Amino acid sequence: MALNTSAMMAVLKVFKFMLRLEILIFKLVKIFVYLSDIYQIFQTNVKNMEDSISQKIRDQIKQIKAGELFTIKDFESLNNDNLVTRTLSRLQKEGTIIRLATGIYMNPKKTQFGIMHPTLDQIAQKIAERDKAQIMPTGDTALNILGFSTQVPMNAVYITNGAKRKVKVGERYIIFKNAVQKNFQFKGKLLPLIIIALKELSKNRVTDDIRNKIFDLILESNAEEKTTMMHDLYLSPVWIKELLLPIIKKTTK
Residue boundaries of the structural domains of the chain: 55-118, 119-184, 186-253
Distance CA 217, CA 251 (A): 10
Kindly report whether the global pTM for this prediction surpasses the value 0.85.
Answer: no
pLDDT at 43: 63
pLDDT at 237: 92
pLDDT above 70: residue 3: no
- Please report, rounded to a whole number, the percentage of residues in the chain having pLDDT higher than 90: 47
Distance of CA 202 to CAs 4, 64, 191, 235, Å?
A: 117, 41, 16, 16
Banded model confidence at residue 111, pLDDT cuts 50, 70, 90 = confident
CATH architecture of 55-118: Orthogonal Bundle (1.10)
Distance of CA 83 to CAs 5, 31, 54, 87, 103, Å?
A: 69, 32, 8, 6, 14
Identify the top-confidence range among 4-8, 79-83, 184-188.
Answer: 184-188
- Please report, rounded to a whole number, the percentage of residues in the chain having pLDDT higher than 70: 93
For the chain, give the mean pLDDT.
Answer: 86
DSSP H or E run through 114: strand 114-116
Banded model confidence at residue 194, pLDDT cuts 50, 70, 90 = very high
Banded model confidence at residue 207, pLDDT cuts 50, 70, 90 = very high
